[in-house]
Amino acid sequence: MLIEILGIIVIIMALRTLLAQNREERLLCLNVIGFSMSAIIGLYIQTPFGAIIAITFFVTSTLSSNAIAYSLGRVKEEIMVK
């Protein structure tokens, strides 16, 4: 049940990413997709190796979300400076 709900969330976010006009909105939707995929991996593969894969995917998606937040902050600073 949870995997199906997360799958629906991923599909909705993928559609929003395709339809978004703004780069910031696209990056945030991609961030949601990354976190949802790590949860799907953790729920689907119910072995210790699956947990390791899910943790690895979660850590890398966290790093990418931090990079997204940093780049969004830089873009806003550049807009204010100009």
For 8-61, write each residue's pLDDT tens digit.
999 999 999 999 888 778 888 888 888 888 888 888 888 888 888 888 888 888
Q: Categorize the per-residue pLDDT at 77 as very low, low, confident or very high, splitting at 50, 70 and 90.
A: low
Q: Assess contact for 42 and 61: CB atoms under 8 A.
A: no
**Per-residue confidence (pLDDT) for residue 80, from 0 to 100:** 63
What is the C-alpha to C-alpha distance for residues 75 and 69, in angstroms, rounded to an integer? Answer: 10
Question: Per DSSP, which regions of 1-82 are E strands?
Answer: none
What is the C-alpha to C-alpha distance for residues 39 and 49, in angstroms, rounded to an integer? Answer: 14
In the chain, domain spans: 2-81
